[in-house]
Amino acid sequence: MIDPEIKFDEFENDYFHTVIKDSLRDYGGIVIRNAVAPQRCAFYRDLITRTHDVLEAKCTEEGHPPHEARDEDHKLGGWRTLAYELREGQLPPNVFEQVNVGFSIFDLIGNLQFAQLMSRFFDGAYRVSPSAHTRRISPGRDLHSKSWQKPALCHIDAQYHDPQHFSLNFWVPLDDCGVDAPGLQIVRDNVHDTQNFVGYDPIANSFDPERLKVINERVFEQFDEQQLFAPELRVGDVFVFHNWTIHQTNCHEGMTKPRQSCELRVIQEGWAFPE
């Protein structure tokens, strides 16, 4: 099985866009190598680190230290919600933008070529999704609940969206990952097969929650381990996948370093894969 990946340098050629579309349809993802300047990634990585530090100090000052946040704080608003988000190692874009006025995490994919890539991929209009995030994952338990998160288990991002819009996730690592630090892996599968697997009903715009449970708990009873695609990623690479792609953190014994990343989601109006 050939790994779905392509160099961003090939952008000007039509085949680049065909490979992107075919890989997303047939495998659920593709790595675009050298797509963002490493310097730009380093700049945003520093901003994210600083943003965590600034906000953690503020929450603590307000009486809500993030490491003491509880799950229910998520829904309570204000400092408590923010303390929960910091504890989980995640920042939504609006929080990032309030601390870093004039900057957005979407700047990572904010150049003209990415805009052209999206307009060639989507069938008509597309827009930025409200569900974007910065994320920090640690292989070591000592950092969990201290602004770093545990590895994410198998899921599809469609479970976070209601109603469904077909969407792409531009997953941007801000550290080299997949070897010493947790990366990302997908289960290679055709988009229509995954939609069938979760029992997606386009009229009701819903799918079967029981199937989602199966994805979370027993994915390899349903899929072959050969379908796993767990690339080594370097700063500057972008892993693109969609809302039906089964994916999880690529974390295994022996990994020692934490990793920061951004998941930048772009959605279109309709639910169907844009053929």
Ligand X SMILES: O=C(O)CCC(=O)C(=O)O
Q: Which does 56 bind (CB under 5 to 8 A by kind): ligand X, Fe ion, none?
A: none
CB 102 to Fe ion: min, Å: 28
Which residue lies nearer to ligand X by CB, 68 or 217? 217
Q: Which residues bind Fe ion (CB under 5 A)?
A: 157
Peptide bond into 163 cis (omega under 30): yes
Q: CB of 33 within 8 A of CB of 139? A: no
Q: Which residues bind ligand X (CB under 6 A)?
A: 135, 137, 152, 157, 169, 171, 184, 247, 249, 261, 263
Q: CB of 73 within 8 A of CB of 46? A: no
CB 240 to ligand X: min, Å: 11
Which residue lies nearer to Fe ion by CB, 52 or 242? 242
Which residue lies nearer to ligand X by CB, 79 or 219? 219
DSSP E strand boundaries for 8-75: 29-33
Which residue lies nearer to Fe ion by CB, 64 or 136? 136
CB 57 to Fe ion: min, Å: 29
Strand partners, 29: 241
Torsion angle, alpha carbons of 116, 120, 121, 125, to 10: 90
Q: Which does 228 bind (CB under 5 to 8 A by kind): Fe ion, ligand X, none?
A: none
Strand partners, 171: 239, 263
